[in-house]
Amino acid sequence: MAITLAEASKLSNDILLQGVIETIIYDSPVLQVLPFIEIVGNGLTYNQENEAPTVSFYDVGDSWSESTPTFTQVTATLKILGGDADVDNFLLATRSNIQDLEAAVVQLKAKAVQQKFDDTFINGDTGVDSKAFDGIDKLCASGQTTSMGTDGGTLTLTNLDELIDLVKGGKPHMLLMSKRSRRKLTSLQRSLGSIEMTQDQFGNFVSLYNGIPIGVNDWISDEQTVGGSSDCSTIYALQFGEGAVAGLTGPGGLQVERVGSLESKDATRTRVKWYASLALFNSLKLSKLIGVRD
């Protein structure tokens, strides 16, 4: 069963862990909704669906033709993401509120985990960094890619609709883009007088396009090269779930481990660690629009 980080935190009695999870998901639209599947072992081998089977109408006595879906066997390996947060014992002894100090230090480390995950979720490439996992840019199939043109072009709603239509089996659950692309999309919607808004679980306002939430990721570059242009960006459309884009996590999920006192310095260490990866179970649940210029 897949479960989001927000729901997982409700199952824990560890106040520090709950605070870390809230910090991690607060500024990440992806981690607020991305479901994680807990697996046993160091990876998951699964069949990625590439094409759905077909059916036909037949007359009495016709010969029936067989049609099966096509699959590609893919292996996603869990990777180790995390870091140590040290709190100086002198500060622990002299500050009036010990829990606040520890929480502040761990919160900064949790924020770093969130930023690294969001970066890898987009740009992860095991060919470049074998310690990381492949992100959606690499996982997206070539047939699920559309372009603004040979040298890119200014975003239009027609191109955005084409991106959305590449995702099969229902609407995408999110459009993920850079802040520059969101500003352009907001401008296009404003010119039509049709800006839609909703709120996330923290009460923050989220823009919608055609009822689809718009997520912003700071690691989607606006300086990508397409043809002769080096000022391009990418917009992603994706569905989340066990049959679409889902996270993978080791038993226990995200963990906050109190290592304790250190020998090398007068400090107490807390370790934030996460055995995590990413899986795309159906290639038709993810698409991208490249060459988006300002």
Structure tokens given for 284: 């038709």
pTM of the model: 0.88
Higher pLDDT, 17 or 145: 145
Higher pLDDT, 40 or 209: 209
Question: Can you tell me the distance from the alpha carbon of 109 to that of 86, in angstroms, rounded to the nearest whole number?
Answer: 10
Banded model confidence at residue 241, pLDDT cuts 50, 70, 90: very high
Which secondary-structure segment (H or E) carries 114?
A: helix 98-123
> How many C-beta atoms surround the C-beta of residue 44 within 10 A?
17
Angle, vertex CA 216, rays to CA 273 and CA 196, nearest 5? 135
Per-residue CA distances from 29 to 81, 153, 174, 200 (Å)? 19, 26, 9, 9
Banded model confidence at residue 290, pLDDT cuts 50, 70, 90: very high
Instruction: Give 140-179 pLDDT, tens digit per residue.
Output: 998 999 999 999 999 999 999 999 999 998 999 999 999 9
Calculate helix-pair angle for 98-123, 15-26, nearest 10 degrees: 40
Distance of CA 91 to the CA centre of its chain: 37
CA proximity to 29, closest of 225, 238, 268: 238
Classify residue 32 by its DSSP letter. Answer: H
Question: Can you tell me the distance from the alpha carbon of 249 to that of 108, in angstroms, rounded to the nearest whole number?
Answer: 22
Lowest mean pLDDT among 15-24, 179-188, 248-257: 15-24
**Beta-bridge partners for 237:** 175, 287
Instruction: Give 34-56 pLDDT, tens digit per residue.
Output: 999 999 888 888 888 777 778 88
Mean pLDDT of the chain: 89
Identify the CATH assignment for 2-50+71-134+243-283 out of 3.30.420.40, 3.30.2400.20, 3.50.50.60, 3.40.50.1820.
3.30.2400.20
Three-state DSSP class for 271? strand
Average pLDDT over residues 3-28: 71
The residue type at 80: I
CA proximity to 203, closest of 79, 32, 3: 32
Average pLDDT over residues 119-139: 96
Strands 43-51 and 229-238 turn out to be unpaired
Question: Can you tell me the distance from the alpha carbon of 35 to that of 249, in angstroms, rounded to the nearest whole number?
Answer: 10
What's the farthest any 2 CA atoms get from each other in the chain?
Answer: 89
Higher pLDDT, 93 or 167: 167
Q: What is the structure's pLDDT at 5?
A: 73
Q: What percent of the chain has pLDDT over 90?
A: 56
Lowest mean pLDDT among 92-96, 97-101, 133-137: 97-101
Three-state DSSP class for 284? helix
Average pLDDT over residues 113-138: 96
